[in-house]
Amino acid sequence: MRQVVLDTETTGLATSQGHRIIEIGCLEIVNRRLTGREYHRFLNPGRDIDEGAERVHGISIADLEGQPRFADIADELLEFLRDSELVIHNAEFDVGFLEYELRLMKHPQPSISDHAMVLDTLRLARKLHPGQRNSLDALCKRYSIDASRREVHGALIDAELLARVYLAMTGGQTALSLDEELTDVARIAGETAKRSRHAGLELKIVAANQEETAAHDALLDKIRESGACLWRDD
């Protein structure tokens, strides 16, 4: 299965105000392994960047001088996305901007669904963690993903973090290379466990002595003083 983790940075929050994409970052996953293939572009939006947006991603209009327009890279982007499942956090935002850009250039197929399927990891996270914060930052903390390199938002680094989060949310695999080190470790651990299960093996049972039992009972009494004690039925 081929998936593409995608993120964008923009001049502002709403296409209704004419805001545009200024950065696109994509990473390819095949059969739950990042392949190393990526697509990354900075884009000249042809308009100013809101101060609030610039504080978030740190990209100024001066940084984008000489960069291509979206229409210049649309075909190569769509080719990279073609026939994949897009993994996007808050997909409504990114897909909305992509389709807005395609409509502006009068592309014959402006709907992203004509090119790829979409999986929204924000919706997935809300199902898995109802009532909790499910921003990318919050999910990185929840799944112990190191986001220390992320001083500001950036499309490519956010795509990398999202890839790690998505793989952790959906099965725990967060490897970013093609090597089989983790697979080998799991295989060796499994073989070791199998070898340790000798037929007729008798486990030695060591009972608590009188002093240990008294200390345990005293601890349960202390717990019961502060409320119900699950380990006591008296």
Backbone φ, ψ for residue 213 (5° rounding): -65, -40
Which pair of structure tokens corresponds to residue 164? 């790690």
- C-alpha 182/C-alpha 201 separation (Å) is 30
Alpha carbon 45 to chain centroid distance?
A: 27
Distance of CA 75 to CAs 38, 132, 184, Å?
A: 15, 39, 40
Q: Which of 107, 153, 198, 216 is catalytic?
A: 153
Q: Return all residues near 181 (Cβ < 8 A) that are at least 6 apart.
A: 175
User: Could you tell me if 171 and 19 are in contact, meaning their C-beta atoms sit under 8 angstroms apart?
Assistant: no
Whether 153 is a known active-site residue: answer yes
Which pair of structure tokens corresponds to residue 208? 């608590």
Among residues 114, 113, 128, 117, the alpha carbon closest in space to that of 166 is found at: 128
Q: Which helix (H) or strand (E) holds 20?
A: none
Catalytic residue set: 153
